[in-house]
Amino acid sequence: MQKSININGNLLPLDPPLVMGILNVTEDSFYDGGQYRTDEAIVKRAGEMLAAGADIIDIGAVSTRPGAQDLPEQEEIDRIRHAVGLVRGRFPESVISVDTWRASVACAAVPCGANIINDVSGGTFDSDMIPTMGRLQVPYVLMHTPAKPNDMQQHTDYEDILAEMIQFFGQQIEKLHEAHVHDIILDPGFGFGKTLEQNYFVLQNMDAFKVFNLPVLVGISRKSMIYKLLETTPDNALNGTTVVNTLALMKGAHILRVHDVKEAVEAVKICASFGCQKDQA
């Protein structure tokens, strides 16, 4: 198993697992949309997450909640350039990821200080993304989704969800290797084109992705697979999120993408002490 990712020539170990803090500079994200739009709020939030132990800050300028609509390309570029510049300027040693499916945004983000590209489409929404990653030579998060956010929940009719996900990952990894992309992180895409039952089935069977010998990122923070099951709201889904993050760590997750960094860091520490990762290499 790949035990580290290359960040500007420095290896970032994945054992113990890392925590990626979510920083949405959006108006309409499902949980925290609109909270971090000013310069002061962006810098404050990034600082809070780093102080709580975040290893990576993941900046997104477009909501990918179910039913979300696309943001105009130039507006996404402008938001990302500004937010990445703010965080890089204030926290020069931080590791910054950018959540985008657009190659043009990736091209704009990396020169501003982004270290990782986190693509919810796994290279399927923009045909230029994979060749662009070959040129940028930064780690790439390859996520599974069957369709764009505006209608992804209408595409949950799988014959064999695990087999189809493995086929998808295999095809996209081959394309990435052909483009000379070497640092690849898999994301099962919990909540993206999957029913509540399918999400838990994929979580239970995350071992299936070991065949690729690549790290796995899990992003389930406050999502509907938690709050709908518990018959609550995203605001009241922190305890459920911690439980599911712990299950993901026990299933071999190498990165947790979360809104609540402190609680995720504590879950990682406890799981590492318990030996959760020892049999997951």
Catalytic residues: 223, 257
Alpha-carbon distance of 43 to 23, in angstroms, equals: 10
For the chain, give the longest Cα–Cα distance. 48
Among 100, 191, 206, 123, smallest CA distance to 152 is for 191
Q: Which residues pair with 187 in a beta bridge?
A: 143
Chain-centre distance of CA 211, in angstroms?
Answer: 20
Chain-centre distance of CA 104, in angstroms?
Answer: 19
